Amino acid sequence: MRKIGIVELEAAIAVARRRSFRAASADLGVSPTALSQTIAGLEARLGVRLFNRTTRSVSPTQAGEQFLTEIEPAMGAINHAMEAVNSYRDKPAGALRINSSVGAARRVLSPVILEFLRRYPEMQVDLVTEDRPIDIVAEGFDAGIRPGDTVPGDMIAVHLEPVQRFTVVGSPAYFEGKAVPATPQDLVHHTCIRARMPSGSMYRWEFEQDGRDITLDVPGRLTLDDAGLMLEAVLAGTGLAYMAEWWISESVGEGKLRRVLDGFIPTSPGLSLYYPSRRYQPVGLRALISFIEEMRRESPSDHRVSVFWPGP
């Protein structure tokens, strides 16, 4: 019998973790057909079925569960040994898998990820964007990027920016013939572009008024779940939008949008890179963390500005 290699073992672990050939193949960078053939070949060489397959799901058999329980610690030790050797290189090399919300990815791609890749040409980054909350360990990611207040408590977080600011904006065309809202309660007389959260619930606009936090379910005819689409709609004069400052700053500067109610909007926790509290970190992740910390030292620490987008 031909010896079983690391590729086959990594394939089995990925399928067990993702419970899907399609998702596991995306993680491994191979086609679902190739992955299915790899698993079938592994099962043939072992002489046992490792996975039960249906048209809708994949799950380990009893033999598969035992096999995976035995090989996962060994694969962890092998990966650690490879990372340890990698640390002797002049520059980090290898791949990082990072999961990020869509908006956060747009925010950090150019100032963080692309600059990191320029500095370390032997590194690769697989940046997967989705807005649903996920378990980055269970789904095979090295790190995640999310707003600081949504980072799981058992993770270590590195702040990418001190705070995130939001604002209400509308286009000059929208405000023609309309009274500009002076308080949050005035929004009842306006058309707003509503936002649907990843959970499916409607986002309630957040304000501070007379020392109290208030949230409003604003009126509106259009509901969106993507900030890019929301920006397009507000620029077209469809209504008012509640958006992160960085999304609209350029349009405001060009006179295409007008800010309102700034005195009523609280700050929110900024974005954070987070990762599991484990003893052995991939060399590439350590390099990324050091890179971020270096950028923070070189940028203003004033809480009024972003670490990566210094303001006046």
pLDDT reading at 240 higher than 90: yes
Q: Is it the case that residue 307 has pLDDT exceeding 50?
A: no
pLDDT band at 309 (very low <50, low <70, confident <90, very high): very low
pLDDT at 308: 42
Q: Look up tokens 């090399």; give the residue.
A: 93
pLDDT score, position 299? 64
Q: What percent of the residues of the chain are helix, what percent strand, and what percent coil, each to the nearest 5?
A: 40, 25, 35
Residue 271 has pLDDT above 60, yes or no: yes
User: What integer pLDDT is reported at residue 132 of this predicted model?
Assistant: 83
C-alpha angle with apex 290: 288 to 294, nearest 5 degrees?
115
Residue entry with tokens 């067990």: 16
- Region of poorest pLDDT, from 76-90, 121-135, 164-178: 76-90
User: Class of 6-86 per CATH?
Assistant: mainly alpha
**Residue type at 93 in one-letter notation:** A
Q: Show the CA angle centred on residue 21, arms to residues 18 and 24, nearest 5°.
A: 50
Which residues have CB under 8 Å from 171's CB, separation 6+?
234, 235, 236, 237, 256, 257, 258
Say what percent of the chain tops pLDDT 90.
43
Stated pTM of the model = 0.63
What is the rounded distance in angstroms from the CA atom of residue 60 to the CA atom of residue 149?
A: 35
Fold topology of 166-266: D-Maltodextrin-Binding Protein; domain 2 (3.40.190)
CA distance linking residue 167 with residue 263, whole number of Å: 9
Helix (H) or strand (E) holding 295: helix 283-298
The percent of residues above 70 in pLDDT, for the chain, comes to: 91
Domain boundaries, the chain: 6-86, 94-162+270-298, 166-266
Length of the chain: 312
Average pLDDT over residues 91-109: 87
Average pLDDT over residues 245-269: 93
DSSP string, 59-108: EE-HHHHHHHHHHHHHHHHHHHHHHHHHTTSSS--EEEEEEE-HHHHHHH
Residue 101 has pLDDT above 70, yes or no: yes
Average pLDDT for 129-141: 86
Average pLDDT, the chain: 86
Q: What pLDDT is recorded for position 188?
A: 96
Identify which of 8, 17, 1, 16 has the alpha carbon closest to the alpha carbon of residue 60.
16
Whole-number Cα distances in Å, 94 to 75, 124, 170, 246, 282: 17, 6, 45, 32, 9
Q: Is the pLDDT of residue 161 over 50?
A: yes
Burial class from Cβ neighbours inside 10 Å (0-12, 13-18, 19+) for residue 303 reads: exposed
The count of other CB atoms within 10 Å of the CB of residue 57 is 10
CATH for 94-162+270-298?
A: 3.40.190.10
Does this chain's domain 6-86 share its CATH topology with 94-162+270-298?
Answer: no
